[in-house]
């Protein structure tokens, strides 16, 4: 093969590897996607995504203060996941 063909082959391999790495967010990194059914899926919290519809996310986000107060009030009973 010519040098040009070798260069193209190497570049193609590099781009394929980069494409694969972009498909998989790094562990612990949060990301969002629209599901096939039109819901919002949050990836990176655990093994499976957390999927809720728009109005459910908005309701949950409106409850943020209460969740934080609950966590603070129950801190001694709660465990953390490492």
For the chain, domain boundaries: 3-77
Q: What is the pLDDT of residue 63?
A: 98
Q: Is residue 51 within 8 Å of residue 37, measured between CB atoms? A: no
For 21-74, write each residue's pLDDT tens digit.
Answer: 767 666 678 999 999 999 999 999 998 999 999 999 999 999 999 999 999 999
Q: What is the mean pLDDT of the chain?
A: 90
pLDDT confidence bin for 1, thresholds 50/70/90: low
Question: Distance between CA 37 and CA 75 in Å, rounded?
Answer: 36
pTM as predicted: 0.64
> Do 27 and 41 meet the contact criterion of CB atoms below 8 Å apart?
no
Alpha helices (H) along 1-82: 3-23, 54-62, 64-73
């Amino acid at each position: 093969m010519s040098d040009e063909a070798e260069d193209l082959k190497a570049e193609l391999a590099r781009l394929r590897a980069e494409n694969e790495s972009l498909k998989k967010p790094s562990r612990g990194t949060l990301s969002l996607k629209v599901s096939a059914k039109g819901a919002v899926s949050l990836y990176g919290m655990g093994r499976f995504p957390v999927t809720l519809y728009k109005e459910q996310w908005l309701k949950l986000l409106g409850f943020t203060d209460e969740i934080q107060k609950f966590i603070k009030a129950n801190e001694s009973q709660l465990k953390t996941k490492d």
